[in-house]
Structures are given as structure tokens and as C-alpha cells.
Amino acid sequence: MAIDFKTGAEKNKIHPYKMLLYAGLGSIVMMFAGLTSAYIVKKSQSNWLDFELPKVFLISTFVILLSSFTIQMALKKAKEGLQNPYRGFLFLTAILGLVFMSLQIQGFMALEAQNIALTGPRSNSAASFLFVITLLHLLHVLGGVLALLGVSWSAFRAKNNPQNSLPVELVATYWHFVDILWIYLFIFLHWIG
């Protein structure tokens, strides 16, 4: 933290909500690092089942990448004070998040259709790990979608251009995080798994 000696004001101070978000993101990183480490250890066991991820997981990857572009555009339009494009990109990001979630569920169903049980007595550790890791990510995406819908609701109710871009900055940071996390998980599960 630096102090401007002319005015005595603090410069470059991080908003407390951003600090809370960063702390939360750090804990999520630690959780997924633990899960992927356990995955690697468990994979060395003899009863590990090797299988390919259904192609729908790749399609969902493209969808979440596109949603990162749309949330960045929403943030840009919010900072420019362009309310209608901001609202549109924000809402489109939420829709893409729902599409991503739907594709992930289709991926689970495709595995079950291949007789790869994700849970229960017929399941294998490989499928169960995949299910737990992707389901936890999916829950974080759901949290992001709910945050996007909340910020969208506020944006659609607003009569004037938003003076405070903090809500969209926070949700954009979180959304980029879940995007990058999914890219990591997809690469991990596709090539390591």
C-alpha cells in the first residue's frame, strides 16, 4: 500500500471484497490440487479403469472459453457505461454457463451409457474421481451462474448506467477462474487420466 504524500490518501488499495474473493479462490485451488494429487496416487493401483472422456466434455470446454470472452466484454461495456451491451453480454455469459452445465451432465450420461458407473457398487475409482472432480467444478460454475444472474438482475433493474463496476469485476474474476480451472481439469483428466 502506497501513500500519496500530496493528499495523504492511500493509493492502489485492494477492495475488501476482492481480498475475500482471492482468499476463496485460493482455497478452491488447494481443494482441487488435493483432489488431483489423490487422483494421481490412486491411479497407480492395479484396479484403475482407463477410459476416454466423451467428446461432449471437449464441446463444453469451447463453451466455457466463449463465456470467458462474453464476461470480459460485459466488464468492458460496464466500464464504458454502455448499459444495454453490458446487460446483454452479462446475460449471455449466464446462458453459456447453463449450456456448459448441461453439456457436463450429458458427459456423465454418456459415461453411464458406456457402462462406466460413476457411483455405487459397480463404480471404479477412476470414474468416481472423475465424477467428484467434475461435479465439484460444476457446483462452482453453478455458483458463478447464480452470481451472474444476480448481477444481471441488478443491471436490468437499473435506470442509469452503473457508476460502480465492482460487482461485475468480482463476478468476471470468479468466472475467469472457473474457466481456467476447467481448462486445467480437462487437460489433467484427458492426458493424465
- Residue 165, Cα to own-chain centre: how many angstroms? 20
Parse the chain into domains and list their residue ranges: 15-42+51-192
**CA atoms of 28 and 135, how far apart (whole Å):** 14
Helix (H, G, I), strand (E, B) or coil at 162: coil
pTM: predicted TM-score of the whole model, two decimal places: 0.88
- Which pLDDT tens digit goes with each residue over 18-66? 999 999 999 999 999 999 999 999 998 888 888 889 999 999 999 999 9
User: Per residue in 134-157, pLDDT tens?
Assistant: 999 999 999 999 999 999 888 888
Are 74 and 139 spatial neighbours (Cβ–Cβ below 8 Å)?
Answer: no
The dihedral sign for the CA sequence 17, 99, 33, 185: negative
Give the pLDDT of residue 154: 84
Q: Which CATH architecture has domain 15-42+51-192?
A: Up-down Bundle (1.20)
